[in-house]
Amino acid sequence: MITRPFNLQARLKAPSRRFDMVALFDILLLAFGFTLLSSRFIFAPGISIDLPRVGSEELVGIRTDAVLTIGANEMLLFEGSILNFDNFEQRLREHFSQDADAALLIRADSSISMQTLLEVAEMARSAGVARVQVAAAPLDPDPDLDLFESGRR
């Protein structure tokens, strides 16, 4: 060999057989960074709502004390009168002052924003309403059952 004439073999160090932990830490840190930056996590403020599963047999016979209809342009129809957001909460307080276990049924148009629906629910809660129900129709509605016809059943 070439190293024998000068005795270079004695001066060479054997390669280290230890595992380099710093390199492993760097690789894991890079992998963690790429995972976080490419993930689809969304951190947004809001409230968590647990939605119940509702079957068509549960939609018949909902007991409510009052019905609120929210139409286009955020028009509020409450128990036969047209209201706006300024006088709606006072009217709720007057209507539900006697009943501690009152329920309000909200029928909302599909164009109503979630913000409007949550504002109405918060007004109802502060006025003393115990439960707020949102009118729902089954996915394949029964033609004999019209949930939005009040007083027919």
> What is the radius of gyration, based on Cα positions, of the chain?
33
Q: Establish if 42 belongs to a structural domain.
A: no
Is there a contact between 103 and 129 (Cβ–Cβ < 8 Å)? yes
Q: Establish if 145 belongs to a structural domain.
A: no
Q: Which residue has the tokens 């073999």?
A: 9
Name which of 106, 123, 101 is nearest 67 in CA terms.
Answer: 106
Q: What percent of the chain has pLDDT over 90?
A: 7
What backbone torsions phi and psi does residue 115 show, to the nearest 5 degrees? -60, -45
Q: What is the CATH number of the domain that holds 65?
A: 3.30.420.270
Name which of 129, 128, 106, 102 is nearest 117 in CA terms.
Answer: 106
The domain of 96 spans: 61-134
Kindly tell me if the per-residue pLDDT of 21 is higher than 80.
Answer: yes
Q: Establish if 116 belongs to a structural domain.
A: yes
> Can you give the pLDDT at residue 86?
81
What backbone torsions phi and psi does residue 134 show, to the nearest 5 degrees? -110, 125
Kindly report, residue by residue over 116-153, the tens digit of the pLDDT.
Answer: 888 888 888 888 888 888 875 555 555 555 545 544 44
Q: Establish if 92 belongs to a structural domain.
A: yes
Token digits of residue 98: 């006697």
For residue 133, the cross-strand partners are 105
pTM of the model: 0.52
What backbone torsions phi and psi does residue 117 show, to the nearest 5 degrees? -60, -40
Q: Establish if 47 belongs to a structural domain.
A: no
Kindly tell me if the per-residue pLDDT of 82 is higher than 80.
Answer: yes
3-state SS, residue 69? strand
Start-to-end CA distance of the chain, whole Å, equals 104
What is the number of structural domains in the chain? 1
Kindly report, residue by residue over 40-74, the tens digit of the pLDDT.
Answer: 777 667 777 776 666 655 555 556 778 888 877 77
> Can you give the pLDDT at residue 28?
96
Is there a contact between 105 and 77 (Cβ–Cβ < 8 Å)? no
